[in-house]
Amino acid sequence: MFGKGLAKGLGITFRHMFDKKITEFYPEDMPTLPPRTRSSLALNTPKCISCGMCSSACPNKVITLTTDKNESNKKFLTSYHMDLTRCLFCGLCTEACPTKALYTTTEFENAVYFREDMQWDMMQRYRDKVASGEIKEEVKPETKQEEAKDNG
Amino acid sequence: MPQYGSGLFVSIAHLIRGLFGGTTVTADVVMTVINSLIIWALIALAALSLILLERKVAGWMQLRTGPNRLGPRGWFQTVADAMKLLGKEDIFPAAADKWVFGLAPMFVIGLSVMVMAVIPYGKGMVPVDLNVGIFYLLAVSALTTIPFFMAGWGSNNKFALLGGMRAVAQMISYEIPLVFSLLGVVMITQTFKMSAIVNAQSHVWFILLQPLGFVVYTIAATAETNRAPFDLVEGESELTAGAFTEYTGMRWALFFLGEYANLFIVSAVAATVFLGGWQGPFLPGWIWFAIKVLFMVFLFLWFRWTFPRLRVDQLMHFGWKVLLPLSVANILLTGVGIYIYQLIYPAIGG
């Protein structure tokens, strides 16, 4: 019948009026992103073995890290810097990380007012996270052994 | 002289008239001033609430919530928008025809006020109850074409001129079926007077006697108010904003105000002529009128957010080859119906 499609269209829009709305009220209700979202990077400093595989895996040379050796000839991190202006959040660095010290997070509010704020000091960010209670500081197994030695 | 009814507003009007001596010239002048102020306020209120309603309905139909930031559930959004428009710079394009460009938005809103003066808002609530009410209404609302063309021509801009030309072509083409669709009702009631048309519907609404007329009127009114699916006049993908392209700030807001005032007017006319006006049980007349107008407004919003825009040739084809014959057929059917009715009940009709 002529005009059937018009009535059908009107019916669809009318039904949609009472459907559940899909609008997200973003600042009030934070969206729950899928767990594998690669929207931010974080470093779990104690787990890092300073191998530098993340910086070699990075296609854009985002990561620069400096290391030093302690008295037992073991490498440890002295600085871990990421230049977020070049990062494309591909996650190759986290895949390269042998100890999963570097990982992606679902935090997405990375917009900043100043270009300098996109230079991330990952060790400082880790300390801030521990200080704010967002993550618990992991105690290195070696440290435990050393403590045990000292005690025993 | 307005008729005195039992409504709240009529009593207030009676009271104010009483203060100035009932039927004196002073009382008439005071009442005219008050009525015109009320109409201005009604236009502002209608535009603010209809814009919000439009955005809300559009949102709901698209699974969104619409404006939701300012005030409870975003109800004050249009107030904020109006404030913003008031504060914006009033730009005249260098090449514009200053007088034509500047006057066009005022003409739009002025014509809306003139039309709203003859609408019966409730029992005895017609600001000016003209004998030629519906005729005057159609004549004045047909003039709305001219400010659109003034805006298009005065802007000295190709998009605006094209929009203005389209406005003229579309509004004149659809004016004819619009007028013819209302003619059936006038034939039945034998009067142009708006209040008499409402009174004639105390037993049966004319939508039941004139279903074809109502359909033709609704379609033609959608085109007449330049709303989707007939919004070619300001089709943003083709003409940026049609005749409004060069307008800014308050002048643009006046066009917007006029647009929503026109939406209110065509809904009010549909409610008056086809849906029984203020007639209805239990509730006061003006509430019934408001309900019916809101129903018609919702119908127009519903159309806008459902149907895609027509092409220009389809628009002309539809107007002249479908709507016009239908409205003429409606007049013929009404005439035959009245003739048969008069054979059965010779006392009724003219």
Q: Which residue of B59, B63, B302 is in closest CB contact with A10? A: B302
**Secondary structure of A61-126 in the HEC alphabet?**
CCEEEEEEECCCCCEEEEEEEEECCCCCCCCHHHHHCCCCCEEEECCCCCCCCCHHHHEEEHHHHH
Name the closest residue on chain A to residue B58, using Cα atoms: A17
Mean pLDDT of B179-194: 86
> Is residue A141 pLDDT above 80, yes or no?
no
Residues A102, A48 contacting (CB under 8 angstroms): yes
The CA distance from B116 to B134, in Å, is 11
Name the closest residue on chain B to residue A8, using Cα atoms: B306
Name the closest residue on chain A to residue B298, using Cα atoms: A14
CB atoms within 10 A of CB B215: 17
Q: What is the pLDDT of residues A23-80, one digit of tens each?
A: 888 888 888 888 888 888 989 888 888 888 999 999 998 999 898 888 888 888 889 9
> Is residue A144 pLDDT above 60, yes or no?
no
**What distances in angstroms separate CA A41 from CA A62, A90, B346, one per listed residue?**
12, 10, 90
Confidence (pLDDT) at B169: 86
Mean pLDDT of B239-267: 84
Tokens representing residue B89 in the block: 């710079």
Class of domain A31-135: alpha beta
Helix, strand, coil percent values for chain A (each to nearest 5): 35, 20, 50
Percent of chain B with pLDDT over 90: 2
Q: State whether B306 and A25 contact (CB < 8 Å).
A: no
Q: Which residue of A13, A19, A20 is in closest CB contact with B302? A: A13
The structural domains of chain A, with segments of one domain joined by +, span: 31-135
ipTM of the complex: 0.70
Among B54, B55, B61, the strongest candidate for a mutation testing the A interface, having the largest count of A CBs within 10 A, is B61
B281, B277, B293, B291: which is closest to B197 by C-alpha?
B277
Q: State whether A22 and B61 contact (CB < 8 Å).
A: no
Q: Rg of the Cα trace of chain B?
A: 21
Mean pLDDT of A126-141: 77
Mean pLDDT of B79-104: 85
> Is residue B1 pLDDT above 50, yes or no?
no
| Phi-psi label, residue A40: left if phi above 0, alpha if psi -120 to 50, beta otherwise | beta
The CA distance from B260 to B266, in Å, is 10
The residue type of A141 is P
- Strand A40-43 with A63-69, pairing: unpaired
Q: State whether A16 and B306 contact (CB < 8 Å).
A: no
Number of helices (H) and strands (E), helices first, in chain A? 5, 5
Name the closest residue on chain B to residue A18, using Cα atoms: B60
Confidence (pLDDT) at A149: 56
For the entire predicted model, the pTM comes to 0.79
Q: What is the pLDDT of residues A97-123, one digit of tens each?
A: 999 889 888 888 888 999 988 999 988
CA A28-A31-A37 angle, 5° bins: 150
To the nearest 10 degrees (0 to 180), the angle between helices B145-154 and B98-116 is: 160
Q: Tell me the three state secondary structure of residue A58.
A: coil
The structural domains of chain B, with segments of one domain joined by +, span: 9-344
Confidence (pLDDT) at B3: 41
The CA distance from B64 to B58, in Å, is 8
Q: State whether B68 and A16 contact (CB < 8 Å).
A: no
Residue B333's Cβ-side half-sphere holds a number of Cα atoms within 13 Å equal to 14
User: Is B64's Cβ below 8 Å from some Cβ in A?
Assistant: yes
The CA distance from B211 to B217, in Å, is 10
